[in-house]
Copies of this chain bind each other. A is one copy, B any other.
Amino acid sequence: MHFTSEQRLDDGVLEREFTLGELGEIPGTLWTPASAAPVPLILMAHNNGLPKREPRLVARARYSAVRGYAVATIDASGCGDRPRTTAEEQARADLRRAMRAGEPVDDIFESMVGPLVEKAVPDWWTTLDALLSLPGIGGPVGYSGWTALGIRLAVNEPRIAAAGLFAGGYVPQAQREEARRVTVPLLFLLQWDDEGNPRQRALDLFDAFGSKEKTLHANLGGHTGTPWFEAEDGNRFFDRHLK
């Protein structure tokens, strides 16, 4: 793990940019609280459409860091600002076109996002191992964000103790099948009118999770309309399970 920049923000949070991987190909950001005592870690994963600098994501990370968490995000393979193959660009364009035209998107989505999840996973393992070796970052570990990746990580990584998942309408078939094997406490966040995530599928996915403690929060509005108080609720969810 190589830190490339560091700044102390006005809320006392230390924000550090880093790179990881054999070629330094994984860019990430780590926010840690002013306190020197070991703190729990939250992995904040965004999906392919957003870069890790997206302001709402940064605001959420800082909100949690102020409240005693180390928060980390990366641009995993194929996500955020990372380079894409021609095939990936083509699939993305096909998906946008089909959604605008109101055509079925399942096959395109599956062929695009299925491999994206698979390729993101090793980058996140690398990141998790590196973060937990840092002084000041203890455990347990929470996951927050992209639903499909969260399922994939939660069923394979016992260090993940709780997960907040967002927008589970379109999830690759493999992760829909894995959902019943997820057993950690869940907070499942859904936008009621999310144009890109069919409501009924998200509700079916919530139903499928194997977790004994799972909570659904749904709010009116489209994909990007999640109210800010859900960031506060998400933090309290982690407080219950990571502290």
* Total copies of this chain within the assembly: 2
Contact digits for A205-243, partner B, Cβ 8 Å, 1 yes 0 no? 011000111111111100000010100110010001000
Q: Is the CB of A217 within 8 A of B217?
A: yes
Residues of B within 8 Å of A220, CB to CB, are: 211-215
User: Complex Cα distance A167/B214, Å?
Assistant: 17
Closest partner residue, chain B, to A219 (CB atom): B215
User: Complex Cα distance A213/B213, Å?
Assistant: 26
Majority SS at the chain A contact face:
mixed
Residues of B within 8 Å of A211, CB to CB, are: 220
Residues of B within 8 Å of A232, CB to CB, are: 236
Residues of B within 8 Å of A34, CB to CB, are: none
Q: Is the CB of B219 within 8 A of A217?
A: no
A192 within 8 A of partner (CB): yes
Q: Is the CB of B219 within 8 A of A218?
A: no
Number of interface residues of A (CB under 8 A): 20
Residues of B within 8 Å of A207, CB to CB, are: 192
User: Complex Cα distance A211/B192, Å?
Assistant: 13
Closest partner residue, chain B, to A229 (CB atom): B240
Q: Is the CB of B218 within 8 A of A215?
A: yes
Q: Nearest Cβ in chain B — how far from A120, in angstroms?
A: 28
A203 within 8 A of partner (CB): yes
User: Complex Cα distance A239/B111, Å?
Assistant: 45
Residues of B within 8 Å of A227, CB to CB, are: 213, 215
For A207, A215, A227, A236, the residue with the greatest tally of chain B CB atoms inside 10 Å of its CB is: A215
Residues of A within 8 A of B (CB): 192, 203, 206-207, 211-220, 227, 229, 232-233, 236, 240
- In the complex, besides A192-B207, A215-B220, 4 extra interface pairs with C-beta distance below 8 angstroms are A213-B220, A216-B216, A216-B219, A218-B218
What are 15 sample pairs from A and B whose C-beta atoms fall under 8 A apart?
A192-B207, A211-B220, A212-B220, A213-B220, A214-B219, A215-B217, A215-B218, A215-B219, A215-B220, A215-B227, A216-B216, A216-B217, A217-B217, A218-B218, A232-B236
